[in-house]
Amino acid sequence: MMSPHPHAAALSDATRATAAQWGPFRPLEMLRRAARLGGFDAQLLDDQVLVAEVLSELFADCAIHDAAGALHWVMRPGPRPMRREAVPGDLHAAIARDAAGSPVQDALDGTGDYAPAAVDALIAQAT
């Protein structure tokens, strides 16, 4: 049996935390984004066993989303807060900056269309 790659756990945590900030995504693109934000050597992603290991762990937190015939992954709501908070502060800040303005990030932060005033206005329109 192969031993896990020495960077597998850290890259998996970074990928899950990054995915927690976004809506539907393509898995390899999310892995690349997480590696960049986490300061990992880009050549790590040439290791197909490492990529498979990290994406397999990410998939455990995700569901498949079909958007007009294009399959994307989306993190399920249950694990999202846990994964979002499970990274060191500097990586968490980098991920939040990268995701700024995304609907998921706005909802998590209570900003944009999810600011309390915006939500109140939407409710008022519906009633």
Question: pLDDT tens digits for 43-99?
Answer: 999 999 999 999 999 999 999 988 777 889 988 888 887 887 777 677 777 777 777
pTM listed for this prediction = 0.76
Question: pLDDT tens digits for 10-19?
Answer: 999 999 999 9
> Which tops the pLDDT comparison, 103 or 45?
45
Contacts 24+ apart (CB under 8 A), 23-32: 23/74, 23/102, 23/103, 23/104, 24/65, 24/67, 24/72, 24/73, 24/74, 25/72, 25/73, 25/74, 26/72, 26/73, 27/55, 27/58, 27/59, 27/73, 28/55, 30/58, 30/73, 31/55, 31/58
